[in-house]
Chain A
């Protein structure tokens, strides 16, 4: 599996856990926090970059979360 596919899979796997929360805003916060606290900056950069290019392959929740990370990265 190439690097970006692996990152997409990782983001989707994380989202699958937090998706149990009926409050999707909370769930997206959980995913974003998990990525922020666990992923090395190059990995975060790559997934944000992928998201900004359309986020193909990312689940809806993963996209919500990475949108939040993308906003944080701008700050």
Chain B
């Protein structure tokens, strides 16, 4: 094993298909048109000295270290900015070039600290490398004035900025612009005074910097350096793995020193992220070794008891005997389990297998229930497959991008950066969101062409109005719809949607969106060469979540925006493995590959493979489990990697249900909120401690690789296997690759997937089978995945939510995410990311705040029909009058104490996005918060007692 540094070709690759041949130092090389001489040389192993060039950003030609001579040409052009041409004869090394380069390096080094031996970049410094490459032996200059005393900026918790080591190559500035699209850095001043400046000469933490790490990655010296490297030194080996945060699924090199992660570096060959990262994946991995990690199994008879540390064998046997006891007493349907989108495909598959084959029922569900279950339903019905249609790269071919109920720059930041790049290139943007997300007008060089600032809960009325314009103004792609879709359904839908009550003018009173904007946006999308739709939880987490997904699919089919690059319907999945956990059969009615449990052929296939009799009946969904618990018919729950007590709606109902159960088994890395109601705690492994795969939002199956020994001794799939064996259903896997082989043998869309192929290709987008052995970046190219190959239009009547505002609850609360925190915050709250967001706040419009006498920082009491909580107020014009907004990353916020039990009609995905509330100025946290705080403190004491006794 070694660090295996990734080769830097100096400039980005050219996408041209036409090639030219040239000669470099006597060697013939063929390169695509548009390739730089520097890159062409690097491709045959000739490394031309360079400093300001790196292949993640466009060439700049400022350092002049890469100069070459071209036969018949004048001067010494920079090889980074000079493209290849047919027949060129290039010389990269001769005495004259060497003199120039030495002279340049001498100037650089004359204003650079000579502390290489104690420098944090020692061993990984391009300036040091170049000094060696050019043969610098002396520095003749003795400058009167230098930058050596420049003061360090240590404000960022993850990296330092030492301007004394800066060579003003501008790589960081350009990375911030080109790669990240934040434009937080600039070169301030001229000549000797030139310096890299965050924002207007501010500290990094005071600037617009989003801490993505692109600048640190691009820096050729120790100027921008990870503090972990400064503290621990250079890593000595690297293992490629996949980030465990959002649904982008970035590929990272875990750069290690023994079993310690020194830094996570975005992998250049990662097909989802292309070498980019965000603050979470790049820096917020410290939770994996946080002191709160629980590494010993624990049991207790009641949640009022102290925990007792026990051996793995005792904990597993106890859990198994309790589940067996409950089933013997209350019937086999009285227990179930919940899989996690944070766990691997293989782990998820095993949990649902244990439940279906071992428990003997289908009471398995997953956290996708509360996020993208409507996506699964809506896209399966219309397109025939429960997934997005495109790869991420597709956005670079889009001409019009419609973002609905998503906030890519916060929720999916690496993809957000790619989208911003395309928008800066000129693609048009339509944002449909009640709140002003950054893409609307708060991202440099980007402004939405239309922001349809609808009232929360009126998505379906908006999508219907857009579709109405498409049909009534003859903007539909009839040829596509008639050839590719079910014609009868298309005709029926056209009749439905053309009705006058769907018109923008008639919808305006419902949606609050000016009819003219709807008409103009519909025209823009429908007439685009390539129109793409990206959507998030602002679509799904509604009582009409599935209807809206269907409405989006209808619109895309009607306009022919499917089946090629640049178009499509793209759900932005919240967590790292939402797609995978759904693919793996986590829903109570579907086996892996989204096949219904009542389908006898499929059931027989699994029965034979699993050697077990399987139930043909759908099992309980998560909210139904809670109801059944209150009804005393569901009393045992196995929860792997989920925190339902914090993430699910109507907290008081959830907690009552958990209290009503006789055995709750939680497998997690921390004592999360759900574990405070558990009777058995099985310590889990972080993504750094296990092998497996994650599947991201573009159906990309990527490798997760163990870089350190599991702190508790076992990977999660091993724990599930032990529990299964203890319950009497044998499992005998020795490696997750064997689990994947079983998945592939039973799931048509995974038929061609194997660990060998993942290693060979880096990642694979399903479907991967005999017809598509390398995977499928773009779906539905020729036919849809439905049985008859035709897309299905469905009728999408707008049905107002049951959650209504009135005098008592006059405001609508909607929820969302923020860049620095992740989901329930179990991971990110245990990192320095709290420096950006240390508490959830209530965004409220100045008018609504003034009416209530609220100022930023005041305690704001938020009361709904379900409950009451208190957050600090943040006055913001991002929300419209009548709407308030918060995030849900901190358990003490109790955001879900106030959300209701309204849910999507098709899937029971909770209506998180619409809660009628009243807000008032208060002086202290709510009664619930105070009580929960006491309960939580007590549970931590019970934990400490257990650990002390253990």
Mark each residue of chain B from 626 to 653: 1 if its CB lies under 8 Å from any CB of chain A, else 0: 0110110100000000000000000000
Q: Which residues of B contact A39 (CB under 8 A)?
A: 618
CB of A37 within 8 A of CB of B633, answer no
Name the distance in Å between A67's Cβ and chain B's nearest Cβ. 20
For chain A residues 19-62, which have a beta carbon within 8 Å of chain B?
19-21, 34, 37-43
CB of A1 within 8 A of CB of B618, answer no
Task: Decide if B295 is an interface residue (CB 8 Å cutoff).
Answer: no
Contact A43 to B906, CB < 8 A, known contacts A3-B631, A13-B543: no
- Number of B interface residues in the complex (CB < 8 A): 34
CB of A16 within 8 A of CB of B797, answer yes
CB of A3 within 8 A of CB of B905, answer no
CB of B618 within 8 A of CB of A40, answer yes
Q: Which residues of B contact A10 (CB under 8 A)?
A: 905, 908
Tell me which of B544, B596, B795, B901 has the highest count of chain A C-beta atoms within 10 A of its own C-beta. Answer: B795
Chain B residue at smallest Cβ distance from A34: B906
Name the distance in Å between B452's Cβ and chain A's nearest Cβ. 23
Q: Which residues of A contact B797 (CB under 8 A)?
A: 16-17, 19-20
Q: In whole angstroms, what is the CA distance A38 to B907 when docked?
A: 8
Task: Decide if B321 is an interface residue (CB 8 Å cutoff).
Answer: no
CB of B620 within 8 A of CB of A37, answer no
Q: In whole angstroms, what is the CA distance A20 to B799 when docked?
A: 10
Mark each residue of chain B from 609 to 631: 1 if its CB lies under 8 Å from any CB of chain A, else 0: 00000000111110010011011
**Chain A contact residues, majority secondary structure:** helix
Contact A42 to B628, CB < 8 A, known contacts A16-B797, A17-B905: yes
CB of A20 within 8 A of CB of B618, answer no
Residue among A3, A9, A17, A38 making CB contact with B547, cutoff 8 Å: A17
Task: Decide if B890 is an interface residue (CB 8 Å cutoff).
Answer: no
CB of A37 within 8 A of CB of B627, answer no
Q: In whole angstroms, what is the CA distance A37 to B908 when docked?
A: 14
Q: In whole angstroms, what is the CA distance A30 to B811 when docked?
A: 35
**Chain B contact residues, majority secondary structure:** loop
Residue among B333, B363, B618, B905 making CB contact with A16, cutoff 8 Å: B905
For chain B residues 903-924, which have a beta carbon within 8 Å of chain A?
903, 905-908
Q: Which residues of B contact A21 (CB under 8 A)?
A: 795
Chain B residue at smallest Cβ distance from A41: B617
Q: Which residues of B contact A3 (CB under 8 A)?
A: 627, 630-631
Q: In whole angstroms, what is the CA distance A30 to B901 when docked?
A: 24
Name the distance in Å between A47's Cβ and chain B's nearest Cβ. 12
Q: In whole angstroms, what is the CA distance A3 to B628 when docked?
A: 8
CB of B901 within 8 A of CB of A6, answer yes
Interface residues on A, range: 20 to 34
For chain B residues 540-559, which have a beta carbon within 8 Å of chain A?
543-544, 546-547
Name the distance in Å between B355's Cβ and chain A's nearest Cβ. 13
For chain B residues 576-619, which have a beta carbon within 8 Å of chain A?
588-589, 596, 598, 617-619
Q: Which residues of A contact B362 (CB under 8 A)?
A: 40
Q: Which residues of A contact B363 (CB under 8 A)?
A: 40
Chain B residue at smallest Cβ distance from A18: B795
Tell me which of B618, B628, B631 has the highest count of chain A C-beta atoms within 10 A of its own C-beta. Answer: B618
Name the distance in Å between B515's Cβ and chain A's nearest Cβ. 22
Contact A13 to B901, CB < 8 A, known contacts A20-B496, A37-B596, A40-B619: no
Name the distance in Å between A27's Cβ and chain B's nearest Cβ. 9
Q: Which residues of B contact A40 (CB under 8 A)?
A: 333, 362-363, 588, 617-621, 624
Chain B residue at smallest Cβ distance from A36: B598
Q: In whole angstroms, what is the CA distance A7 to B570 when docked?
A: 32
Q: In whole angstroms, what is the CA distance A1 to B630 when docked?
A: 11
CB of A17 within 8 A of CB of B628, answer no
Q: In whole angstroms, what is the CA distance A72 to B276 when docked?
A: 55
Mark each residue of chain B from 525 to 548: 1 if its CB lies under 8 Å from any CB of chain A, else 0: 000000000000000000110110
CB of A20 within 8 A of CB of B796, answer yes
Contact A14 to B618, CB < 8 A, known contacts A3-B627, A21-B795, A42-B633: no
Q: Which residues of A contact B796 (CB under 8 A)?
A: 20
CB of B617 within 8 A of CB of A6, answer no
CB of B547 within 8 A of CB of A37, answer no
Q: In whole angstroms, what is the CA distance A21 to B589 when docked?
A: 25
CB of B906 within 8 A of CB of A14, answer yes
Q: Which residues of B contact A41 (CB under 8 A)?
A: 617
Contact A20 to B795, CB < 8 A, known contacts A39-B618, A40-B620: yes
Contact A17 to B627, CB < 8 A, known contacts A34-B906, A39-B618: no
Chain A residue at smallest Cβ distance from B598: A37
15 extra interface residue pairs, beta carbon distance < 8 Å, beyond A6-B627, A38-B906 = A3-B631, A13-B543, A17-B544, A17-B547, A17-B797, A17-B799, A17-B905, A34-B906, A37-B589, A38-B618, A39-B618, A40-B363, A40-B620, A40-B624, A42-B633
25 A-B pairs, CB-CB below 8 angstroms? A3-B627, A3-B630, A3-B631, A6-B627, A9-B802, A10-B905, A10-B908, A13-B543, A13-B903, A13-B905, A14-B906, A16-B799, A16-B905, A17-B797, A17-B905, A17-B906, A20-B496, A21-B795, A34-B906, A38-B589, A38-B618, A38-B907, A40-B618, A40-B620, A41-B617
* Nearest 7 interchain pairs by C-beta: A13-B905, A20-B795, A20-B797, A16-B799, A40-B620, A41-B617, A3-B627
